[in-house]
Structure 1
Amino acid sequence: MPDSQTAALSSGLRMSVMRLARRLRNQRSAELGLPLAQLTALATLDRNGPMSPGELADCEHVSPPTMTRVLAALTGAGLVERTPHPTDRRQQVVSVTEQAHELLEADRRRRDAWLATRLAALTEDERAVLAAAAPVLAQLAEG
């Protein structure tokens, strides 16, 4: 069981990270207009490259039938394309279209600009603390 300092850090960090994530989500452009499941699947494909629907379902921690519905909607919107698997013709590989990539990049730039503005308002020491914490936060998110 964590000591009281660790418990307090845990609570404060959880609340701060959740609020920051919410603020960043709120900066997302309305033009994307995608439900969260579709948006995260699209972002995963854009970040990791083409993969099978089953691999994408595993990455997104959803069931294959759920991913099938997500991919059907994204394909219908022209944001995902399907191609035959290179070694197993029974399977398909899905990837983002150029349109989807451009939408996601514009959205990332917009949210990065918002965060950069917020970071610029901090002191140099505060930014240094965040720079040192970033790898630790990434490590926490991994595991």
Structure 2
Amino acid sequence: MPSVEKVTRTDSGLASALRISVARLQRRLRGERDPDNELLPVGQLSVLGLLNRFGDSTVGELAALERVQPPSMTRTVNCLDDGGYVVRRKNESDGRQVVVALSEQGKQTLANDRRRRDAWLAQRLRELTPEERSVLRQAAPIIERLAQA
């Protein structure tokens, strides 16, 4: 089997290696979820993260951010609302629209989950050399740009 360094010499090799590595890291981080939140599916947790990052949003805005159809997002928001993780209210500028916001329970759930996964990742980062951490500091914004494309 060729080394990662050899495979990543081409753009297609880099694409493959990066896709595999990011997917593995994502699965590993998923395994570090807060056990108290394990009944909350990853998709619902992702919506809580969007609301935390972007603030109150309509179902349509959330659907666009998650790249899903609005009816799918409506089902997700319904589940989050039923569980007490979000609250709905009328849009102040357009009373026909409904805005979704994080509830206190949603904020706490998200914070607990992130704290646990961040602690695991911070520990793994401490095991790297300073040079490796420096490379990751440079790569993180680039990976974020790729994710937003």
TM-score, structure 1 normalization:
0.91
- Amino acid in the other structure paired with 1:116: A
C-alpha displacement of 1:93: 0.8
Q: How does 1:68-83 map onto structure 2 within 5 Å? A: 68-83=74-89
Match of 1:66 in 2: 72
CA–CA separation in structure 2 for the residues paired with 1:36 and 1:54? 19
Letter in 2 for 1:44: L
Secondary structure at the residue paired with 1:82?
Answer: strand
Unaligned runs of 5+ in 2: 1-8
Once the two structures are TM-superposed, the CA of residue 85 in structure 1 deviates from its matched residue by 0.7
Q: Secondary structure at the match of 1:94?
A: strand
- Alpha-carbon distance, 1:30 to partner: 2.6
Match of 1:30 among 31, 35, 38: 35
Residue in structure 2 matched with residue 137 of structure 1 by the alignment: 143
Q: Which moved more, 1:29-38 or 1:117-126?
A: 29-38
Worse-superposed segment, 81-90 or 60-69: 60-69
State the percentage of identical aligned residues.
48
Confirm whether residue 15 of structure 1 aligns to residue 20 of structure 2. Answer: yes
Structure 1: 4+ residue segments shifted above 2 A = none
Structure 1 counterpart of 2:90, which letter? Answer: P
* Aligned with residue 6 of structure 1, among 6, 11, 14: 11
2:120 paired with 1:114: yes
Structure 1 window deviating more from structure 2 (49-58 vs 113-122): it is 49-58
Q: Where does residue 62 of structure 2 map in the other structure?
A: 56
Kindly state the Cα deviation for residue 117 of structure 1 after the two structures are TM-superposed: 0.4
Q: Give the deviation of 1:123 after TM superposition.
A: 1.0
Residues paired across the two proteins, number:
141
1:7 Cα deviation from its structure 2 partner:
1.6
